[in-house]
A and B are shown apart, each in its own frame.
Chain A
């Protein structure tokens, strides 16, 4: 069933994974990952619950191990600069940690009573740079202000994080990820529960990031989001089903393989996909 194609590795790719398998302990959670993501490219990561979407994000972050295959990451500021300025960019290095990778978690597990201001949350994005001792300097403060401006939340900087709306919290966490100048940004269900204005604002921010050469992987259930800002689609269901340009991947056959008996909206038509094994 697996349609194995040779993967075209993109020039200056921010992230390339070949034959990737990610496992929790001994159990592989996601296999057959073959992707290559260029600067400024946004990939919609689509699959049912438990299909390995979070696994892939955690794998790229280095939180769970790559048990087979190879992963190359060019996301840190240094690596990006090297890649952008010279045609012969370095071959890539085996992934260690996740330098230059920003991550936007879902906000629902955050305690709304936590006594911390939006500015303090965004400053967390600078912690790794500050190390153990250093106090935030002017470079850190301006990085925080720029990130707050990028998500349009500067006036709310002193507000308690938990007092912000769900969409504002989401954008606040995005600002936190942006303070580290990531070359690759991982967004986990970013538009879940967002109202239209917050959704538009987020899409606008994503477009701005793409224009600056930031690559994105966005997990979503929403094909509209994929259409609005994503160039490519990665379909997974325990293994990679398909990866490629949006229009090539979002086919009925592919969607059927991933989603069984669910409604999917494709081009204004609602389809009920017949299941294979029900």
Chain B
């Protein structure tokens, strides 16, 4: 099967189709939210959130397997979001404090997984997901949690936009900044949770951060930003999945789906960066 075939026929296989649907849903939610991450410059905080969710994932996984991992992640995400919003709102500490707190939480997560008998496969699954063996139940959960994340941002869209542009002005207009921030942080944490089965706790960063950053490079109008971010995520997901399938089936390399998709996300960003550099050169 060549690459062109893989782009279509490979998805007749149920596990490939499931992986694709999960990624498309994630791309929709993460792309939309990712625009706000970029506009607000919250990449570092997002990184911190993924780390903070990890001990919850790990503890849940040990106690209750895959379903437990999800519940644990939701609990950890809620706690982490509140802690983080409180930290940044009180202006306690700085990036260093945030980094230390979240690295500590991440380490705790690793320790928890290490106590388990199935530690190697467990740790790897939690960190990098298991895109090609996502179960139907996991796929449904991903869709549900993503939809929730998207709903939170859509409901608070105007206040998010106002606050991203002008915090003082949004507060003066009567929007409570704390509430706005909690809503965005919750939706980021929800995407981290939603993505844990498919791409895992580390690679979710690519899905959350790259599309928004890329859109910012190529789009100058507000509306295009969201469309670009979502479309690019979906495209990278599709190409990445097809490529990993071709490499595994035809070439015999056993490449993990999640990492391949993440690399395609990064590749789209590099292309956009090149495009912009060229455009700037031509114009000047």
Interface flags, B208-252, vs A, CB<8A=1, else 0: 000000001001111001000000000000000000000000000
CB distance from B213 to the nearest CB of A (A): 13
Interface pair B222/A124, CB less than 8 Å apart? no
Contacts of B167 in A (CB 8 A): 109
In this assembly, does B15 line the interface, its C-beta being within 8 Å of a C-beta of chain A? no
Docked pose: A62 CA to B173 CA in angstroms: 10
CB distance from B169 to the nearest CB of A (A): 5
Interface residues on B, range: 20 to 34
Q: Is the interface of B mostly helix, strand, loop or mixed?
A: helix
Contacts of B173 in A (CB 8 A): 103, 124-125, 127-128
Q: Which residue of A lies closest to B170 (CB)?
A: A124
In this assembly, does B124 line the interface, its C-beta being within 8 Å of a C-beta of chain A? no
CB distance from B172 to the nearest CB of A (A): 4
- The one of A109, A116, A128 that contacts B168, using a Cβ cutoff of 8 Å: A109
CB distance from A130 to the nearest CB of B (A): 7
Docked pose: A186 CA to B166 CA in angstroms: 16
Docked pose: A176 CA to B220 CA in angstroms: 21
Interface pair B168/A132, CB less than 8 Å apart? no
Query: Given that A116-B222, A120-B222 are contacting pairs, would A110 and B172 also be in contact in the complex, using a CB cutoff of 8 Å?
Result: no
In this assembly, does B39 line the interface, its C-beta being within 8 Å of a C-beta of chain A? yes
Contacts of A114 in B (CB 8 A): 39, 164-165
Docked pose: A103 CA to B216 CA in angstroms: 29
Interface pair A115/B158, CB less than 8 Å apart? no
Docked pose: A192 CA to B192 CA in angstroms: 44
Interface flags, A82-126, vs B, CB<8A=1, else 0: 000000000000000111010101000111001111001100110
Interface pair A124/B172, CB less than 8 Å apart? no
Q: List 14 A-B contacts (CB under 8 A).
A: A61-B171, A61-B172, A103-B169, A110-B165, A114-B164, A115-B216, A115-B219, A115-B220, A115-B225, A117-B222, A124-B166, A125-B173, A127-B158, A176-B169
Given A110-B166, A125-B173, 16 other A-B contacts at CB below 8 A?
A: A61-B172, A63-B171, A63-B172, A103-B169, A103-B172, A105-B169, A105-B172, A109-B167, A114-B164, A115-B220, A116-B161, A124-B165, A127-B173, A128-B173, A130-B158, A160-B220
